[in-house]
Amino acid sequence: MGMLVDEVEVPDRPGVQGLWFRGFRGPEDYAGIAATNQAERDVAGIGEIVTATAIANDYAHLTNCDLDRDLLVVERGHATIGYSRVEWRDLIDGTRQFVSICHLQPSERRQGIGRAMLGWGEGRLAAAAAALPDGSARAGAMQAFVPGTDAGAIALLEGSGWTRTGHGHEMLRPTLDDIPDVPMPAGLAIRPIGTDQASRRAVWDALMDAFRDHRGEREATEEDWLHFVGDSNRDPSLWVVAFDGDEIAGGVLAKIDPAENAHHARERGIADEVFTRRPWRRRGLARALLARALVRLRDHGMTSAYLGVDGLNPNQAMTLYRSLGFEISNSTIDWSKPLPAWTGVPALPESR
């Protein structure tokens, strides 16, 4: 039996037999949380998977999220069927983002559980915003993200006053045959990246700099860096990074996730981050690096590759990816809603 936590009072709780809302017990919850999230991904056809190990890395490096108060676990018959988590982050553009994350086992939908989870999360975010000492200094709104094929979640958000603000895509190259030979821009050279902390940190700093003008980009924290290096699938031997003298101009940080490939019974690589820093853009660098990254993945036994992209990317990223044989395989929708007024929604009791 795990650590005891109090049952949580959730407004508009549905009368579903055996339903229980509770707080976070600790690492013993990771497996149920991951399984719930993955069940939704499988139904939506999302390639990227979630494991208990990944959840552990995520939760070890959260920013502005107190798991004892900001995570709601949903059980039915003593089995985890869903969870809701909230957090807030300051964005580079000077605004603040209040994020609501809700996942529910597909078999438990259409009973009012998701609506109750969403309402609880909105209340927690309103309380968190009201408690911030500089709450009036930054404009902020709630954010949520759902698969584009999830008609139930879309209807729930629309009916609850949320507005679509954008979309993201997974793009797939179904084969690693016929990868074009793309020349590197003059004056730039690819160099191997060591596994030492300083080498990886230099690449991460360049990545953060390149993403500073992306939509909704968060202010980077030291916890973000620790989360990055805490991903055991990050292998610098798969990275293709271009230098201009001693300066990193851009890169493609490819990955291979054995657990993901086992789950889907395939051999697929991931072009996890594709970036070019501002002084080196519009010279064909990203295309040259991505072509080389695909070759590197093929040399490691992969037969296909995918990547993620913001559908509103201002740097013609989707045009670039299509030129190298990638096409959209599935999509997510971004949502926003003004923060509700705080009405004294109680915080979760601390675990004991």
pLDDT tens-digit map of 280-321: 999 999 999 999 999 999 999 999 999 999 988 766 799 999
Residue 306 has phi, psi (to 5 degrees) of -140, 170
Residue 323 in any domain: the answer is no
pLDDT in tens, 240-270: 999 999 999 999 999 999 999 999 999 999 9
- Which band of pLDDT confidence, cut at 50, 70 and 90, is reported for residue 344? low
Answer yes or no: is pLDDT of 136 > 60: no
- Which band of pLDDT confidence, cut at 50, 70 and 90, is reported for residue 26? very high
Residue 332's nearest CA partner among 40, 82, 113 is 40
pLDDT of residue 5: 62
Select from 167, 198, 232 the last residue of a domain.
Answer: 167
Residue 34's nearest CA partner among 58, 52, 60, 61 is 52
Residue 2 in any domain: the answer is no
Residues 100 and 180 placed together within one structural domain of the fold: no
Do 19 and 113 meet the contact criterion of CB atoms below 8 Å apart? Answer: yes
pLDDT of residue 139: 74
Residue 98 in any domain: the answer is yes
3-state class of 278 per DSSP?
Answer: helix
Residue 329 in any domain: the answer is no
Residues 29 and 155 placed together within one structural domain of the fold: yes
Answer yes or no: is pLDDT of 81 > 80: yes
Token pair in block for residue 173:
């190259």
Average pLDDT score over the chain: 93
- Which residue range forms the structural domain that includes residue 112? 19-167
Q: Counting every residue, how long is the chain? A: 352
| CB neighbourhood size of 213 (10 A) | 12
pLDDT of residue 216: 83
- Which band of pLDDT confidence, cut at 50, 70 and 90, is reported for residue 4? low
H or E stretch covering 132? none
Residues 149 and 33 placed together within one structural domain of the fold: yes
Residue 342 in any domain: the answer is no
Residue 134 in any domain: the answer is yes
Residues 144 and 95 placed together within one structural domain of the fold: yes
pLDDT of residue 214: 84
Residues 221 and 257 placed together within one structural domain of the fold: yes
pLDDT of residue 311: 86
Select from 267, 286, 302 the last residue of a domain.
Answer: 302
Percent residues over pLDDT 90 in the chain: 86
- What's the structural domain count of the chain? 2
Residue 311's nearest CA partner among 194, 169, 189, 197 is 169
Answer yes or no: is pLDDT of 165 > 70: yes
pLDDT of residue 140: 87
Answer yes or no: is pLDDT of 345 > 70: no
Give the single-character DSSP code of 218.
B
Residues 162 and 34 placed together within one structural domain of the fold: yes
Residues 160 and 182 placed together within one structural domain of the fold: no
Residues 251 and 207 placed together within one structural domain of the fold: yes
Rounded to whole angstroms, the Cα distance separating 313 from 328 reads: 14
Higher pLDDT, 182 or 217: 182
Residue 96: strand pairing partners: 90, 140
Q: What CATH number has the domain bearing residue 150?
A: 3.40.630.30
User: Can you tell me the mean pLDDT for 187-195?
Assistant: 96
Select from 137, 167, 197 the last residue of a domain.
Answer: 167
Rounded to whole angstroms, the Cα distance separating 352 from 224 reads: 28
Residues 34 and 147 placed together within one structural domain of the fold: yes
Residue 344 in any domain: the answer is no
Long-range contacts of 126-131 (CB under 8 A, 24+ apart): 126/339, 126/340, 126/341, 126/342, 126/343, 126/345, 127/342, 127/344, 127/345, 127/347, 128/64, 128/70, 128/86, 128/88, 128/98, 129/88, 129/96, 129/98, 129/339, 129/342, 130/342
Residues 64 and 133 placed together within one structural domain of the fold: yes
- Which band of pLDDT confidence, cut at 50, 70 and 90, is reported for residue 135? low
pLDDT of residue 7: 87
- Which band of pLDDT confidence, cut at 50, 70 and 90, is reported for residue 2? very low
pTM over 0.85: yes
Residues 44 and 147 placed together within one structural domain of the fold: yes
Residue 263 in any domain: the answer is yes
Residues 157 and 203 placed together within one structural domain of the fold: no
pLDDT in tens, 37-54: 999 999 999 999 999 999
pLDDT of residue 348: 47
Give the chain's end-to-end CA distance (angstroms, integer).
Answer: 13
User: Can you tell me the mean pLDDT for 9-13?
Assistant: 92
- Which band of pLDDT confidence, cut at 50, 70 and 90, is reported for residue 199? very high
pLDDT of residue 312: 85
